[in-house]
Amino acid sequence: MALRAGVAPSTTTCHSPSPFFPSSSSSSSYVVGLCSAPFSCNRPSDITFKCSYSYPSLSKKAQSIPLSLSSFTKQICRAAEYKFPDPIPEFANAETLKFRTHLHEKLVKKDVCGDSVGEVVEICAGIFSEFLHTHYGGPGTLLVLPFIDMADTVNERGLPGGPQAARAAVKWAQNCVDKDWKEWTGDSY
């Protein structure tokens, strides 16, 4: 089955004979949608997908996207075969220390946590450390869930600055963790 994601101004109309993807028409200013439109099989290994979007500046021709099932299947199999490295405890410890230092400096500078800055930093650092020790295995494995947990935990404990701490944490992690991993392991990919 082929899906096409799109953001269409004004109207998006997709027609589908499939009960899983009902026909839809929308008139809001911007719509994000998945489209499964009529498709035809010329050969068992080819599927042609057609979906029409109305764009004021473009012609209103249907777009066809040929999809070779055998090629698609091979791509999925190759992706499934890749194994990410196991977490490295020494890296996790060193990175947690850098994280703790950076987050403390950032929260003190912004003054959003008041007297609770130490407690907020410890909560966030604990969650980050657990993630690095159990799930992080190099570039491509940084998840958003630990940062959501940081904000939720700080808020659940009634401490100020949960969203700000999580935002500072995720920005730092996006900029530093993968780069630090590559330096730690000597990987250049």
95 shares a domain with 162: yes
Please report whether residue 82 resides in a domain: no
Q: Are residues 108 and 156 in the same domain?
A: yes
Of 34, 69, 104, which residue is a domain's last? 69
| 63 & 99 share domain | no
Residue 39 or 29, more confident: 39
Evaluate if pTM is beyond 0.85: no
Residue span of the structural domain in which 110 resides: 89-185
- Rounded CA separation 166/172 (Å): 10
pLDDT in tens, 97-156: 999 999 999 999 999 899 999 999 999 999 999 999 999 999 989 999 999 999 999 999
Rg (CA), the chain: 23
The answer on 105 and 47 residing in a single domain is no
Closest-CA residue to 88 (of 41, 149, 141): 141
Q: Three-class SS of residue 47?
A: strand
The more confident residue out of 161 and 15 is 161
Tens digits of residue pLDDT in 38-73: 444 444 444 444 444 444 444 445 555 555 556 666
> How many domains does the structure of the chain reveal?
2
Amino acid at 98: K
Higher confidence at residue 167 or residue 79? Answer: 167
Please, which pLDDT band fits residue 23 given cuts at 50, 70 and 90?
Answer: very low
Higher pLDDT, 162 or 66: 162
Q: How far does the chain reach from its first CA to its final CA, in angstroms?
A: 32
Per-residue pLDDT at 83: 74
Q: Report if residue 76 sits inside a domain.
A: no
* Confidence at residue 148, expressed as pLDDT on a 0 to 100 scale: 96
Whether 54 and 109 map to the same domain: the answer is no
| Structure confidence by residue, pLDDT tens digits, 73-92 | 666 666 566 677 889 999 99
